[in-house]
Amino acid sequence: MIFDILTLFPGMFTGPFDESIINRAKDKQLIEISLHNIRDWSTDRHQTADDSPYGGGAGMVMKAPPVAACIESVKALHPDSTVVFTSPQGRRLTNSVALDLSKRPGLIILCGRYEGIDERIRSIYAEDDISLGDFVLSGGEIAAMAIVDSVSRLIPGVLGSDESAKLDSFCDGLLEHPHYTRPPSFNNLEVPGELLSGNHELIRRWRRKESLRKTKSLRPDLLLNVALNREDLILLKEIELEESCEM
């Protein structure tokens, strides 16, 4: 998959894309990441890419001409890629959104800055808007990193085992169950006996139950949108009984 990132600050991506899973995915040629400095498409000697807003007010606005030229140049190279704007007004990045994006041939991610981008750019070029949540960042670069990371791990082969991504939080609508490793005892806290039993069915049932327990405790809203089966309902009843006994 091809990721093209359009930004005023390409140096911000040094490090995050050169480590761990993303770097290995690049080495295996499962993904390709290219950075494009929007200032390179400015026509003045100062490479100006922003200006004061019409109507007055604080801050600066990213100018339409260099942004448009940058988008069109990259789109000409990868015409099948989807132009994605990072914006607080976009749809929230969730696992289902990342899965949707992972099926595209490529993404051209435009990183906003300052007070935003000239609205005419959005009208002409935006094919999708993605937000990390109801808060404001200094720019879209961090959001772009999150998009690339969350999408890449869903591309077959990136994690080594495709099953790994399927077991992550939110993939089935629930939070993931707790994880443990050696030693079996730490600060007087023991690894649950089910995980040490060697009984695969007992382990599977424990993991599902603890996934439900964590979701019920931390994100009960998620349970409203999950298709629970008969076993899930039984496990939730067990959890409720256990909680009532603790009170």
Position 2 pLDDT exceeds 60 = yes
CB 5 within 8 A of CB 144: yes
Lowest mean pLDDT among 3-17, 147-161, 162-176: 162-176
Taking the mean position of all CA atoms in its chain, how far away is CA 184?
33
* Structure token digits, residue 124: 């002409």
Q: What are phi and psi of 53, to 5 degrees?
A: -75, 145
| pLDDT (average), residues 31-53 | 97
Nearest to residue 110, comparing CAs of 43, 47, 49?
49
* Residue 5 CB burial class (10 angstroms; 0-12, 13-18, ≥19): buried
pLDDT of residue 204: 96
pTM check: above 0.85? yes
Confidence of residue 171 (pLDDT cuts 50, 70, 90): low
CB 127 within 8 A of CB 83: yes
Question: How far apart, in whole angstroms, are the C-alpha atoms of residue 80 and residue 4?
Answer: 12
Q: How far is CA 207 from CA 1, 57, 137, 171, in A?
A: 33, 54, 36, 15
| pLDDT (average), residues 13-17 | 93
pLDDT of residue 168: 55
CB 104 within 8 A of CB 81: yes
pLDDT of residue 162: 56
Confidence of residue 173 (pLDDT cuts 50, 70, 90): confident
Position 167 pLDDT exceeds 70 = no
Q: How far is CA 233 from CA 59, 129, 228, in A?
A: 53, 37, 7
**Ordered domains of the chain (ranges, CATH):** 2-162 (3.40.1280.10), 185-246 (1.10.1270.20)
pLDDT of residue 160: 78
Q: Which residues are catalytic?
A: 88, 115, 153, 168
Question: How far apart, in whole angstroms, are the C-alpha atoms of residue 143 and residue 147?
Answer: 6
Question: How far apart, in whole angstroms, are the C-alpha atoms of residue 138 and residue 35?
Answer: 19
Q: How far is CA 122 from CA 187, 189, 198, in A?
A: 54, 53, 56
